[in-house]
Copies of this chain bind each other. A is one copy, B any other.
């Protein structure tokens, strides 16, 4: 058990936190902070209701993007149990998910295995006969916590809900390699390829969902899973077959996996070469920047109750550290004095999260409660996040504080409509439909431009701001390439203004 620690740092609450969106305290504080601070969400989408896949219930989620789906679990809906229900688990796709047919006809799914002495193509049934293992692991998007960054990184503004802890069952990669005569010597990476349908007119490596991890990791504890929480993996979570890399960020857990290869080099895919890189703000990603592999130590409170007679808060939360597991969790009401929380439930292994609970007086005028986890290697969850271009890997305890009291919503920094000249509108539409290469309409639906593609988000539903479109055009985002070298600054500005306005028509 960890004794309380006293830290002398000034509790420097930055301005943006002071302006945060607060919520009502009450007897059962179930509706805790489930959104990021308001002023750093100027681009929050206002989608029309859209049916979710796999029978998911909209009430448990915040929808960031309808297609490819980006669905955040509400902070207080993940429950108080170590294993998260599939029905409450976040969903994030890099490309639109394939047809439901591939899970209905899972017996027809095959996996190519190369970079081994005897390359093979195995059916799901053949994999199921090779060997079996069950493991418990946190599934977390690299961008979980992005909502707390203030520089406006591209991508969905996840707060805490792009994470869950689940049960996976499948065959160990080590068993598959052995069945294929072993790995060819000197291979350094395991490269896995997803089975999404790629957009036409976009080079394969710009759009394909393909990631590489160290080959030692692949041999150590990765599995090819066919069951999630005791059921065949549903389409939204990568069924019929998904690569599970325990302790690593979600981008490495390749859905609909159709090929695994032992390779000398990392994949040439954009999402490996420059994407999912932990890079300074303003820099382009390259292989010198750390890839989003192991998840660092992190914790947050998921719900809280207030006993208004005895003046006690009771709080529950989760804590994890990829490949390491958790030694202890502490909480603080001032960011200086730390008190141990109680862990409950059995330890489900070094890649699962631990649930914790604590009680504290509600009589003081507490506005926030902080938690920090300590992993089994003694690493302590840090106070500050590390600033980075894409808003990845946020594990700051300051950012993830649980906010207790309601204050007026901040109205600053809201997007203001501007007038779009007819000239700009026509130029923007031309760029959107034909002049940009590939044209935006190849991937996006936008009624005003009469395009109806479903590779990228439906812009009528997403309703992005000018700034968001501009950033996406300049830097690319997910499978979308950068147009920064192809289009001039003015063209990007015009196209962005056009999209922002047209989407709201």
Known A-B contacts A125-B305, A346-B349; A230 and B84 likewise in contact (beta carbons under 8 Å): yes
A314 proximity list for chain B (CB < 8 A): 128-129
Contacting residues of chain A (75-109) with chain B, CB-CB under 8 angstroms: 78-88, 107
A425 proximity list for chain B (CB < 8 A): none
Nearest opposing residue in chain B for A134, CB measure: B345
A128 proximity list for chain B (CB < 8 A): 28, 80, 305, 314
A232 proximity list for chain B (CB < 8 A): 79
A169 proximity list for chain B (CB < 8 A): 79-81, 345
Residue of B85, B167, B230 touching A78 (CB-CB under 8 A): B230
How many angstroms between the C-alpha atoms of A415 and B399 in the bound complex? 70
Taking residues whose C-beta sits less than 8 angstroms from the other chain, chain A's interface range is 35 or more
A356 → B minimal CB distance (Å):
10
Q: Does A229 sit within 8 A of B, measured CB to CB?
A: yes
Q: Does A27 sit within 8 A of B, measured CB to CB?
A: yes
Nearest opposing residue in chain B for A107, CB measure: B28
Contact in complex: B81, A344 (CB < 8 Å): no
Q: Does A312 sit within 8 A of B, measured CB to CB?
A: yes
Residues of A that sit less than 8 Å from B by CB = 27-28, 55, 78-88, 107, 125-126, 128-129, 131-136, 167, 169, 227, 229-232, 305, 307, 312, 314, 316, 344-346, 348-349, 355, 357, 359
Given contacts A81-B134, A88-B231, A136-B346, 20 further A-B contacts (CB under 8 A): A27-B125, A28-B107, A28-B125, A28-B128, A78-B230, A79-B227, A79-B230, A80-B132, A81-B167, A82-B134, A82-B167, A83-B167, A84-B230, A85-B230, A125-B305, A126-B307, A129-B305, A129-B312, A132-B344, A133-B344
